[in-house]
Amino acid sequence: MRIRILGCSGGIGAGSRTSAMLIDNDVLLDAGTGVGDLALEDLHSIRHVFLTHAHLDHIAGLPMLIDANFEEDFEVPVSVYARQETLDALKAHLFNDVIWPDFARIPDPDNPMLRYVVCNPGDTVSIGQRDFHAVDVLHSVPSLGYTVRNSGGVFAVSGDTRTNETLWPVLNACDDLKVLVIEVSFSDEHEELATTAGHYCPSTMCRDLELLNHNPDIWLTGMKPGQEEIILAQVIAAVPDKNVRMLSRGTIITV
46, 72, 107, 113 from 68: Cα distances, Å: 10, 12, 14, 11
For the stretch 5-49, pLDDT in tens is 999 999 998 889 999 999 999 999 999 999 999 999 999 999 999
Query: CB of 194 within 8 A of CB of 162?
Result: yes
Give the containing element (helix H, strand E) for 203. helix 202-209
Q: Is the pLDDT of residue 74 over 90?
A: no
Q: What percent of the chain has pLDDT over 90?
A: 97
Alpha-carbon Rg for the chain in angstroms:
18
79, 148, 171, 206 from 65: Cα distances, Å: 12, 22, 31, 35
**Across residues 74-82, what is the average pLDDT?**
94
For the stretch 191-224, pLDDT in tens is 999 999 999 999 999 999 999 999 999 999 999 9
Spatial CA neighbour of 208 closest among 174, 249, 158, 253: 158
**Across residues 68-93, what is the average pLDDT?**
94
Tell me which residue range forms the domain holding 226.
2-254
What is the Cα–Cα distance from 98 to 100, expressed in whole angstroms? Answer: 5
Confidence of residue 72 (pLDDT cuts 50, 70, 90): confident
Domain count, the chain: 1
CA angle at residue 59 from 219 to 176, to 5 degrees? 35
- What's the pLDDT at 13? 87
Give the CATH number of the domain where residue 109 resides: 3.60.15.10
H helices then E strands: how many in the chain? 8, 14
95, 213, 216, 255 from 175: Cα distances, Å: 40, 9, 10, 14
5, 16, 107, 189 from 20: Cα distances, Å: 6, 12, 27, 27
